[in-house]
Structure 1
Amino acid sequence: MSLDTVVEDIREEAHARAEDIRSQGETRAEEIESAAREDADEIVADAEDEVEREIEQLREQRLSSAKLEAKQKRLEARRDVLTDVRESVEDELTSLEGDTREELTRELLEAATVEFDEDDTVTVYGRESDEELIESILEEYDGYEYDGEYDCLGGVVVESEASRLRVNNTFDSVLEDVWEDNLQEISNRLFEQ
């Protein structure tokens, strides 16, 4: 065996080994590349899923926010309507005249008298424009006298220093009680759904 043959054998063996290493490297590179593609695909799929979840969450938040805002606007509108109705009722009470006003004022005064002793000196207050009406009604009550104006829609405020008692039987106080007791029913009638 000559040296050339030995060199040639070593060279062929080196080429074969290099080819084998290159082939193994390419196979390994393909495996790594394939694994990287799979990882990349998984990362992209996870990212897309995450984006979809975030979009859905954002959509739900905006929808919820819009619903809340709409509800608040409905409540504000209802509150405005109820305020208008209340003001309309107050205007009606203010404009009551004649026998109706006298009858209501008389009933409110009579309801207040049960709170006082017969020998009490009782002072009565009322709406400025009702002074004459109240004074004429008080002529029927011993120990009762009109003592001045009270800012109200009508009715009377009756008090006695002796019994340290004050009864507010104004249209305002009656309206407040009726309004509070019937607000749900009023609201249901106005906003039937």
Structure 2
Amino acid sequence: MSLDTVAEDIKDDARDRAERIRNEADERADEIVAEAEADAEEIRAEREREIERRIEQEREQKLSSAKLEAKQKRLEGRRIVLEDTRDEAESRIADLSGERREEVTRALLDDAAAEFDEGDTVRISGRADDADLLESLVAEYDGFEHAGEVDCLGGVVAESDASRVRVNNTFDSVLDSVWEDRLQEISTRLFEQ
């Protein structure tokens, strides 16, 4: 074999080895690129899912906040309507007059009188505008006297030192009691849906 042939065989082997190395390097480069693209796709997909989760969380938070705000406004509106209704009731009660006012005041005085022992000195107070009415009603009871005025819509406050009893039968106290006992019913009637 000649030196040229050996040199040519070495060159061919070197070229074959270089071609194999290049092919392996290209395959490895393709694998690395494919892995990198897969990783990039996975990262992109995860980021998209995270962004979608954040968007959904924000949407839920804003929706929840809007619902809460709407509920608060609805409750505030109901509170205002209830206050207006209460004010209207107080106004109508304060405006009772004539026989109806006398009838209601007499019933409240009768109820208060039942709380005292016979022979007690009982002082009756009421609204300043009802002084004449109270004077005439108190005259019907032994030991009762008109004692002046209290700030109220009407009715009576009865007191006796002897029995240490104080009965608040004012229109205000009756309205407070009825209002408290019937608030749920009042709300239902006002805000039926």
State the TM-score, normalized to the length of structure 2. 0.95
- Partners of 1:173 and 1:106 lie apart in 2 by 16
1:109-129 CA distance string (max 9 Å, x none) = 100111100111111111111
Q: Secondary structure at the match of 1:141?
A: coil
Q: Secondary structure at the match of 1:162?
A: coil
**Which sections of structure 2, spanning at least 5 residues, go unmatched?**
none
User: What is the match of residue 135 of structure 1?
Assistant: 135
User: What is the match of residue 115 of structure 2?
Assistant: 115
1:15-72 CA distance string (max 9 Å, x none) = 2212211110110110111111111111111111121122112111111111111111
State the TM-score, normalized to the length of structure 1. 0.95
Q: Secondary structure at the match of 2:115?
A: coil
Percent identity among equivalent residues? Answer: 63
User: What is the match of residue 155 of structure 2?
Assistant: 155
Q: In the comparison of the two structures, how many residue pairs are matched? A: 193
- Partners of 1:121 and 1:85 lie apart in 2 by 39
Post-superposition shift, 1:5? 3.7
Alignment of 1:12-23 (within 5 A): 12-23=12-23
User: What is the match of residue 95 of structure 1?
Assistant: 95
Q: Secondary structure at the match of 1:119?
A: coil
User: What is the match of residue 61 of structure 1?
Assistant: 61
Q: For structure 1, which segment, 61-70 or 8-17, has the greater mean C-alpha deviation from structure 2 after superposition? A: 8-17
User: What is the match of residue 36 of structure 2?
Assistant: 36
1:84-143 CA distance string (max 9 Å, x none) = 011001001111111111111111010011110011111111111111111111011111
1:125 paired to 2:125: yes
Q: What is the CA RMSD across the aligned residues, in angstroms? A: 1.3
**Which sections of structure 1, spanning at least 5 residues, go unmatched?**
none
- Partners of 1:88 and 1:189 lie apart in 2 by 16
Moved over 6 A (4+): none
User: What is the match of residue 171 of structure 1?
Assistant: 171
